[in-house]
A = this chain, B = another copy of it.
Amino acid sequence: MSAFDVIAFDADDTLWQNERLYVHVQGQFKALLSRYHAPDWVGERLYATEMRNLQHYGYGAKAFALSMIETAVELTEGRIAGRDVQVLIDLVKNMLTAEVELLEHVAETIPRLAGAYPLMLITKGDLRDQESKIARSGLADHFSRVEIVSDKRPETYAALLKRHGIAPARFLMVGNSLRSDVLPVLAIGGSAVHVPCAHTWVHEVAEAPPDGHPGYHHVEHLGLLPALLAGVEAQQGGGEPGRP
C-alpha cells in the first residue's frame, strides 16, 4: 500500500506563474502614480488596501483591480484621471487572459505522478479565473478532483477531506505557500511538501515548521518530488516487514 491516498497540489506559483503577473502590474501601478508618491509608499498603501478588503472581496484578480483603483483614488486625493482608471482595469483584464506559463519541471512531473497516485488540485481565488487557468494549463486531465476554495485554513482542509472521504494521515499537499499549503495541512495531521517559488506574495509568507516535524518535507523544485515520494514510500514500506 502506498503512503498516500491522494496527492494534492496548489496551483498558482506551484504549477504555474502567477505572482509574477501581479508584480508586473504592481510595477505599472507604481509608475502610474509616480508623480504623486514614491513607489515604495504606493506599494505599501496598495497592500494595506488589499488586506483591508480581503474579508469582503476574497482573493483573486478582480479583488486586486478594485483595491488598486481604491488606492489610486486615495493616493491622488481623487485626482486620478478616468483614463488611468481604465488603464488599471485593462491591466487586470490582461492578467485574466494571459498565457498560463507552467513552472519548470511541472510538465513532466505531473503526468508522471498521475500514473502513480490520484491527484487533486486545491486552489484559492476567483472561481471563474481559476477554472479558466486550469483549462488553459493543459493539465486538467491529470487531476481527478479539483477544488476551488475561498481560503485555505485548517477547517477548509478538514471539511474538504471529510467530503472526499480521505483520512488526513493519508493526504499529502504540495505547494509554494507555507501559510496556505503547508501549515494548515500539518495542523490537521496531514503531510505537506513545500516547494519554494521565486515570487511568493508577502501575504503567503510564514515560518517553516521546525526541522524534523513529522509530515513536513521540502524540495527545491517540483522535479525533485518523485524522488522524495519514492524515499517516503521506501521508508514506510521498507520499515514494516522487519517489524515483529
Contact = CB atoms under 8 A, between A and B. Distances in A.
A128 B76 CA distance: 30
Interface in A115-159: 126-129, 131, 148-150
A185 interface: no
Nearest to A81: B78
Given A63-B62, A65-B66, A148-B127, A85 B73 contact: yes
A57 B95 CA distance: 11
Contact of A127 (B70, B80, B150): B150
A133 to B, nearest CB: 12
Interface string A49-67: 0000000111100110110
Given A58-B126, A126-B58, A127-B127, A83 B73 contact: yes
Contacts of A148: 127
Interface string A153-174: 0000000000000000000000
A98 to B, nearest CB: 11
| Chain A binding surface SS class | helix
Contact of A62 (B57, B85, B89): B57
A78 B56 CA distance: 28
A97 interface: yes
Contact of A76 (B57, B76, B82, B131): B82
Interface residues of A, number: 36
Contact of A86 (B73, B79, B93): B73
A69 interface: yes
Contacts of A114: none
A38 to B, nearest CB: 20
A96 interface: yes
6 contacts: A57-B96, A58-B126, A69-B69, A70-B86, A80-B85, A85-B85
Given A69-B85, A80-B85, 17 more contacts: A56-B128, A57-B62, A57-B128, A58-B128, A59-B128, A66-B89, A74-B86, A76-B82, A78-B82, A80-B82, A82-B85, A126-B127, A127-B127, A127-B148, A127-B149, A128-B150, A131-B150
